[in-house]
A and B are shown apart, each in its own frame.
Chain A
């Protein structure tokens, strides 16, 4: 078992995301309306296969292209902060993803077209991205399945808190491909059903979504602060969680200890799988009794390694607007009474705990609040 915590405070100078609905404001508005971004699409793109819930950026297809079709949307997403000159000693970049260009590597294997290899391997992909975005060489890559973005945030926070950097840019991107959707489909957790996070039903299912996000962290003023972060790895099994849910609880404990009576709402991971949903919602109810729990992957799908940043940007937008979207796609009965199915006003709360979980019992959580 291993834990890793940061208790200092960093500010979010900027935080934004990209989903099939648009950036955080458009995404928040769609979630508040209860809209679902996912549609049933062929799991292998043009090669067909079963229809499964997938959410793609408008105009993008699942099949790989060279260069990748996600580059221009990413360039637009980063435009407001990218002019500042990133990748220097005092302004490092942390890139996280669980996919990088895995789809292009698969396309190369299938087609033999070497154009795909420029984006296919992890380091190639980030190097290409660095050149495209004009970053200097101080770019660090982290990948830890679906807690990748949290890991990037934690490491960037430490660098900023320690005074080793003036600001840090954390950027995460996960765009779908037949390689990724086919893999989850083979596991049978991506199937014909739309996900219903935290719903106590007979069959679980997830959906997948395109997503990217960024955060600029500073030691000085921003609209929001991250005042506690926790990561915990169960080391129990290389894919499975400890069955009693102790890993979820261990990750939340350091955050709970720092709340000091503050009222929070909870943005959970909530992919739609049954075992993890039951354990996660149970751990939340135990650590934060009565706090409303929401999950948004029933609309957006799971944006994999980027979900921590995508959903952080949406949570920031929710705090800014005073309204929190409910758990879209879910319904009664839920695993715990705290699962909020409908939107609610969040102006009486002091902040939100955002959590993500990953294959192999890796857990992450942070406390976000108005600065």
Chain B
């Protein structure tokens, strides 16, 4: 069964970044988001961070934290869970 957060994040990425020809189902949750994998660039990352902060009400504190969170869909989900837990 698909993790609802993972599914939500995939949709959010496709919608926010308006990825042509990519559907949520095409995204491998363990593949890198930046560079290889989905091949997002730094401007995509900026848009994504702003959207995630707004959507989940969390703060990403530094570019290093941003890079860590955006390593993959799985790491992004873990990051969000850790920040929204409790």
Interface residues of A (CB under 8 A from B): 50, 186-189, 191-193, 202-205, 237-240, 273-274
Q: Categorize the interface residue count of chain B.
A: 10 to 19
Given contacts A191-B62, A203-B65, 13 further A-B contacts (CB under 8 A): A50-B59, A186-B50, A188-B49, A188-B60, A188-B61, A188-B65, A189-B63, A191-B61, A193-B62, A204-B64, A238-B41, A239-B42, A239-B43
In B36-66, the 8 Å CB interface with A consists of 41-43, 46, 49-50, 59-66
Alpha-carbon gap, A239 to B34, bound state (A): 13
Neighbour of A203 across the interface among B41, B43, B50, B64, CB < 8 A: B64
A201, chain B: closest CB distance, angstroms: 10
Q: Across chains A and B, which 4 residue pairs bring their CB atoms closest together, nearest first?
A: A188-B63, A203-B62, A239-B42, A188-B66
A308, chain B: closest CB distance, angstroms: 23
Given the complex, which residues of B lie within 8 Å of A192, measured CB to CB? 61
Given contacts A239-B41, A239-B42, A239-B43, contact A274 B50 (CB under 8 A): no
Given the complex, which residues of A lie within 8 Å of B62, measured CB to CB? 188-189, 191, 193, 203-205
A273, B63: Cβ atoms closer than 8 Å: yes
Given the complex, which residues of A lie within 8 Å of B43, measured CB to CB? 239
- A sample of 22 inter-chain contacts (CB < 8 A) reads A186-B46, A187-B46, A188-B49, A188-B61, A188-B62, A188-B65, A189-B63, A191-B61, A191-B62, A192-B61, A202-B64, A203-B61, A203-B64, A203-B65, A204-B62, A204-B63, A204-B64, A205-B62, A237-B42, A239-B42, A239-B43, A240-B42
Alpha-carbon gap, A191 to B53, bound state (A): 15
B42, A274: Cβ atoms closer than 8 Å: no
Given the complex, which residues of A lie within 8 Å of B61, measured CB to CB? 188, 191-192, 203
Given the complex, which residues of B lie within 8 Å of A238, measured CB to CB? 41
Alpha-carbon gap, A240 to B35, bound state (A): 11
Given the complex, which residues of A lie within 8 Å of B66, measured CB to CB? 188
| CB-based nearest A residue for B61 | A191
A313, chain B: closest CB distance, angstroms: 30
Alpha-carbon gap, A237 to B60, bound state (A): 24
Alpha-carbon gap, A240 to B66, bound state (A): 16
Given the complex, which residues of B lie within 8 Å of A202, measured CB to CB? 64
A248, chain B: closest CB distance, angstroms: 19
B15-35 vs A: 1/0 string, CB under 8 Å? 000000000000000000000
Alpha-carbon gap, A187 to B47, bound state (A): 9
Alpha-carbon gap, A188 to B41, bound state (A): 15
B64, A187: Cβ atoms closer than 8 Å: no
Neighbour of B64 across the interface among A50, A186, A240, A274, CB < 8 A: A274
| CB-based nearest A residue for B60 | A188
Given the complex, which residues of A lie within 8 Å of B49, measured CB to CB? 186, 188
Alpha-carbon gap, A240 to B41, bound state (A): 9
B80, chain A: closest CB distance, angstroms: 16
B55, chain A: closest CB distance, angstroms: 15
Given the complex, which residues of A lie within 8 Å of B50, measured CB to CB? 186
Given the complex, which residues of A lie within 8 Å of B64, measured CB to CB? 202-204, 274
| CB-based nearest B residue for A192 | B61
Given the complex, which residues of A lie within 8 Å of B59, measured CB to CB? 50
B67, chain A: closest CB distance, angstroms: 9
Alpha-carbon gap, A175 to B6, bound state (A): 42
B49, chain A: closest CB distance, angstroms: 7
B63, A187: Cβ atoms closer than 8 Å: yes
| CB-based nearest B residue for A50 | B59
| CB-based nearest B residue for A206 | B63
B65, chain A: closest CB distance, angstroms: 7
Alpha-carbon gap, A274 to B63, bound state (A): 10
Alpha-carbon gap, A191 to B64, bound state (A): 11
| CB-based nearest B residue for A191 | B62
Given the complex, which residues of B lie within 8 Å of A189, measured CB to CB? 62-63
Alpha-carbon gap, A203 to B66, bound state (A): 11
| CB-based nearest A residue for B53 | A186
Alpha-carbon gap, A192 to B59, bound state (A): 12
A294, chain B: closest CB distance, angstroms: 24
Given the complex, which residues of B lie within 8 Å of A205, measured CB to CB? 62
